[in-house]
Structure 1
Amino acid sequence: MSKTHEIKVTKRELQRKGASRRLRHAGVIPAIVYGGSAEPVAISLDHNEIWLAQANEWFYSSILDLNLDGKVERVLLRDMQRHPFKQLIMHLDFQRVNENEALTASVPLHFINEETSPAGKAADVVVTHELKEVTVSCLPKDLPESIEIDLGNLEAGNIIYLSDIKLPKGVEIPSLAQGKDHDDAVVTAKHGKEDAADVVEEAPAAE
């Protein structure tokens, strides 16, 4: 189960683009909360606080508690607009979550024990992480911040697929229900090509 993280927000009136520009100059990010049975609500957030938060994985995959004057709404980040070259967040979209309804979210994958595995210790084996995150479906209370994949027994020639991932209780990977064609490779361990420079041919002995 993922932890929740509280972020203080302020309600704002829906205005034209000029107003959003003034907010950004004041160090504030315009955002919107939508979904569920309630109407969309325009809010604003402190840019410095969000800039620090967005450097963490949990900001993208965890349920967030938006605190608006003491009233908390549970949401997931659904979209973030960044400035093309400045360290500036332009806008955020949050979707309300219902505790009794399954949601879909992208969860990061954490790979452990690769260096101590047979494949990891072999000099001629290349271990490739084909996926860095996976889309899961679950109730909000079961949403993990990340999923660990233990590579301790990985050997050369092995392939770990989505169906091989040990998921937390209550968590599913929706794409697997679409058939084997959607059981994507997550990790591969292949022998690397022999470097031609390391191959030394013995010259034939002179008669």
Structure 2
Amino acid sequence: MDMATKMKAQKRESGTPNSALTELRSKGNVPGIVYGYQAETTPLTVSEIDLIKTLRESGRNGVINLDLDGTKYNVVLSDYQMDALKGNFKHVDFLAINMSDELEIAVTVHTVGEAAGEKENGIVNQPNREVHIKVKPSEIPDSLDVDVSKLEIGDHLSVGDIRDTVSFEILDEDDFLLVSVTAPRTQEEIDELEETPETEGAEPEVVGSDEESDSEKEA
């Protein structure tokens, strides 16, 4: 990426109470923080409209030129929280980076083509949808594209199979599985799954709350 996408942000007080954060979000803003290279950890807010527009332009891993009340940082979106019900951003973390240093970052694995095994009703599985890479900020790819067109039933694709085909370093091990093609389930297997009774007396699953407070986030 030759030029970083620009976005503005405003500082906010540390330890903002939840009631103020709720009001802030209701006005179309997203609380967050910036930290990292030549940046003290600073609470901030950004317009959600600007954030969505910026991410569409730069991509999930793109470099953003963040103007924080006149102080500019080159940043990437390192983490974020979404409201599970409303589908909007609740919190964003920006990591300030040195454009001359390589960065360790996760990128999405994107399959290209139709696996040969699919023509025989094979099932394409993606057990790992991200890989971790080390790359200069200006060379971060939007995704890691892997061609699956030659995969037959029983075949698989791991990091070791593609490591030499990319221009950046992949940090995951060679046996880190990306894609596999398995045989379709038989009718007997399907019948067995349907006949398996639910476990009685099982403890209810505890699901983590999406309402993590900013005080916890910034601690």
TM-score class normalised by the smaller sequence: 0.7 to 0.9
Quick one: distance in 2 between partners of 1:128 and 1:57?
A: 30
Partner of 1:202: none
Opposite residue 101 of structure 1, the aligned amino acid is D
Quick one: distance in 2 between partners of 1:141 and 1:53?
A: 16
TM-score (norm. length: structure 1): 0.75
Q: Contact 1:100 / 1:139 at 8 angstroms: preserved in 2?
A: yes
Partner of 1:7: 7
TM-aligned CA deviation for residue 108 of structure 1: 0.9
How is 1:83-162 mapped onto 2 (pairs within 5 angstroms)?
Answer: 83-114=83-114, 117-123=115-121, 125-162=122-159
Paired residue total: 187
Quick one: distance in 2 between partners of 1:154 and 1:28?
A: 46
Q: CA RMSD in A?
A: 2.8
Which structure would you say has the larger Rg? 1
Structure 1: which 5+ residue stretches go unaligned? 198-207
Three-state SS of the structure 2 residue aligned to 1:60 is coil
Partner of 1:82: 82
Partner of 2:215: none
Opposite residue 111 of structure 2, the aligned amino acid is F
TM-score (norm. length: structure 2): 0.72
Partner of 1:185: 177
Deviations 1:130-188 (A, max 9, x none): 2222111122122111111011211222111111125531x112132xxx6xx221111
Query: Relative to structure 1, is the Cα distance of residues 64 and 158 closer, same or farther in structure 2, using a 3 angstrom cutoff?
Result: same
TM-aligned CA deviation for residue 48 of structure 1: 2.8
Query: Relative to structure 1, is the Cα distance of residues 75 and 156 closer, same or farther in structure 2, using a 3 angstrom cutoff?
Result: same
Q: Contact 1:77 / 1:94 at 8 angstroms: preserved in 2?
A: yes
Quick one: distance in 2 between partners of 1:156 and 1:58?
A: 37
Query: Relative to structure 1, is the Cα distance of residues 121 and 76 closer, same or farther in structure 2, using a 3 angstrom cutoff?
Result: same
Opposite residue 30 of structure 1, the aligned amino acid is P
Structure 2: which 5+ residue stretches go unaligned? 190-219
In the alignment, structure 1 residue 36 sits paired with structure 2 residue 21:
no
TM-aligned CA deviation for residue 51 of structure 1: 4.5
Quick one: distance in 2 between partners of 1:57 and 1:34?
A: 22
Quick one: distance in 2 between partners of 1:103 and 1:86?
A: 32
Partner of 1:62: 62
Deviations 1:54-101 (A, max 9, x none): 6x5964322222234565421121221233533342221111111222
TM-aligned CA deviation for residue 38 of structure 1: 2.7
Query: Relative to structure 1, is the Cα distance of residues 141 and 88 closer, same or farther in structure 2, using a 3 angstrom cutoff?
Result: closer
Three-state SS of the structure 1 residue aligned to 2:106 is strand
Q: Percent of counterpart pairs with the same letter?
A: 27
Q: 2:166 aligns with which of 159, 165, 168?
A: 168
Deviations 1:21-76 (A, max 9, x none): 3322322112211011332233211123334666x596432222223456542112
Three-state SS of the structure 2 residue aligned to 1:120 is helix
Q: Contact 1:78 / 1:93 at 8 angstroms: preserved in 2?
A: yes
Query: Relative to structure 1, is the Cα distance of residues 143 and 2 closer, same or farther in structure 2, using a 3 angstrom cutoff?
Result: farther
